[in-house]
Copies of this chain bind each other. A is one copy, B any other.
Amino acid sequence: MHFRKMINVMLLVWVSFTSTTQAQEHPNLIMTQAGVEKMRNSLGKVPLFDASVQRVKQQVDAEIALGIDTPIPKDFSGGYTHQRHKQNFIIAQQAGALYQILQDNKYATYIRDMLFQYEAMYQSLPVHPQERSYARGKLFWQCLNDSNWLVYMSQAYDAIYDTLSIKERERLENNLFRPFADYISIENPQFYNRIHNHSTWGNAAVGMIALVMNDEALLQRALYGIEDDGLEVGARDNDGGFIKVEGQKAGFLANLEDPFSPDGYYTEGPYYQRYAMYPFLIFALAMHNVKPEMKVFEHKDNVLLKGVDALLNLTDAAGNFFPLNDGQKGMSYFTPALVSAVDIAFHYGTQNPQLLSIAEKQNEVLLDESGLSVALGIRDGKSQPFTKQSINLTDGQDGQQGGVGILRYGDEDLTLVFKYAAQGLSHGHYDKLSFSLYNKGNEVLQDYGLTRFVNIGQKGGGNYLKENKTWAKQTIAHNTLTVNETSHFNGDYEIGSQHHSQLYFFDSTNENLQVVSAKESNAYPGTEMHRTMAMIKLTEFEKPFLLDIMKVDSKSQNQYDLPFYFMGQVISTNFDYDSPLSLSPLGRDNGYQHLYLEGKGKPAVASTQFSWLGDGTFYTLTASTNVSDELLFTRLGANDPDFNLRRDAAFMLRRKATANTVFASVVEAHGSYNPVSELSVNSYSSIAELKVILDDKNYTAVLIKGVNRQTKTFIMANQDASSSTKHQVTIEGKSYKWKGAYQLF
Contact = CB atoms under 8 A, between A and B. Distances in A.
A458 B581 contact: no
Contact of A335 (B583, B642, B676): B676
A633 B637 CA distance: 13
A58 to B, nearest CB: 16
Interface stretch (A66-74, A326-334, A402-410): A326-334
Interface stretch (A285-293, A479-487, A569-577): A569-577
A295 interface: no
Interface in A603-639: 611, 613, 633, 635, 637-639
Contact of A611 (B328, B458, B677): B458
A579 B643 CA distance: 10
Contacts of A642: 570
Interface stretch (A154-162, A181-189, A341-349, A678-686): A678-686
Given A456-B571, A457-B683, A598-B637, A330 B675 contact: yes
A582 B579 contact: no
Interface in A657-686: 673, 675-680, 683-684
A459 interface: yes
A410 B307 CA distance: 45
Contacts of A613: 453, 456
Nearest to A571: B458
A462 interface: yes
B581 A639 contact: yes
B585 A581 contact: yes
Interface string A554-585: 00000000000000011110000101011111
A83 interface: yes
A55 to B, nearest CB: 14
A455 B579 contact: no
A434 to B, nearest CB: 22
Contacts of A569: 643, 646
Given A462-B680, A643-B570, A581 B330 contact: no
A596 interface: yes
Contacts of A638: 581
Contacts of A581: 584-585, 638-639
Given A456-B680, A571-B459, A683-B457, A675 B328 contact: yes
Given A582-B583, A613-B456, A675-B331, A680 B78 contact: yes
A170 interface: no
Copies per complex of this chain:
2
A677 B579 CA distance: 42
Contacts of A639: 579, 581
A486 B639 CA distance: 31
Interface string A140-156: 00000000000000000
Contacts of A641: 577, 579, 599
Contact of A676 (B334, B458, B584): B334
Contacts of A239: none
Nearest to A462: B680
Contacts of A382: none
A379 interface: no
A651 to B, nearest CB: 11
A683 B647 contact: no
Contacts of A462: 680
Contacts of A635: 637, 647
A454 interface: yes
A640 interface: yes
Interface string A683-703: 110000000000000000000
Contacts of A584: 581-582
Contacts of A675: 328-331, 454
A458 B577 CA distance: 17
Contact of A683 (B332, B335, B456, B649): B456
Nearest to A616: B330
Interface in A171-207: none
A459 B683 CA distance: 11
A557 B338 CA distance: 62
Contacts of A577: 641
Given A571-B458, A583-B583, A583-B596, A678 B328 contact: yes
28 contacts: A78-B680, A83-B679, A83-B680, A331-B675, A331-B678, A332-B676, A335-B676, A453-B571, A454-B678, A456-B613, A456-B673, A456-B680, A456-B683, A457-B683, A458-B611, A458-B683, A458-B684, A459-B571, A459-B572, A462-B680, A569-B646, A579-B640, A581-B638, A581-B639, A582-B583, A582-B584, A598-B643, A633-B643
Given A462-B680, A579-B639, A583-B583, 5 more contacts: A336-B677, A453-B571, A582-B585, A583-B596, A633-B643
